[in-house]
Amino acid sequence: MDCIFCQIVAGEIPADILYQDDEVVAFRDINPLAPTHLLIIPRKHIPSLVDLSEVDSPLVGDMVNAANQLAKREGVTESGYRLVLDCGKQGGQLVPHLHMHLLGGRQLSDALG
Ligand code: AMP
Ligand code: ZN
């Protein structure tokens, strides 16, 4: 498996892991775009949102729950934060393993595009 995020899940390459449970793993983005920039991923290799089966869709809720806990830990709950799911080439997805960005700690742009 040459998926970089699967390798992080397996402990084969290092990452600053902040949270893990049976379903999801969260770590700091290697190229942070904000003071808090975390990635929350399912342990299971799901390439992108379009590959998410109905059976696996509760994982997205698990990812949001983990993100909300991490936002508290990072101290951005009051100031606010953004959760982003990129999907596919024009959606800006570079790593083909489903992931949610948690961005916070500065005023984010109103422009999403
Ligand atoms: P996306 O553009 O939505 O696919 O986001 C992929 C994100 O993964 C980018 O923000 C990268 O900086 C981040 N990234 C890539 N490789 C690593 C890594 N080894 N550890 C942590 N973050 C990574
Ligand atoms: Zn993977």
* Ligand (nearest to CA of 90): 1
Over residues 96-111, the pLDDT tens digits come to: 999 999 999 999 999 9
Q: Alpha carbon of 2 to those of 12, 41, 59, 61: distances in Å?
A: 11, 16, 22, 26
Paired tokens of 100: 């949610």
Neighbours of 5 (CB within 10 A): 22
Show the ligand 1 pocket: residues with CB < 6 angstroms: 4, 15, 27, 29-31, 39, 86, 92-95
Name which residue sits closest to atom 18 of ligand 1, judged by CA. 30
Ligand 1, atom nearest to 37 Cα = 10
Over residues 25-57, the pLDDT tens digits come to: 999 999 999 999 999 999 999 999 999 999 999
The SS3 of residue 10 is: coil
- 101 a catalytic residue: no
Half-sphere exposure of 92 (CA within 13 A, CB side): 8
**pTM of this structure:** 0.98
Ligand 1, atom nearest to 28 Cα = 21
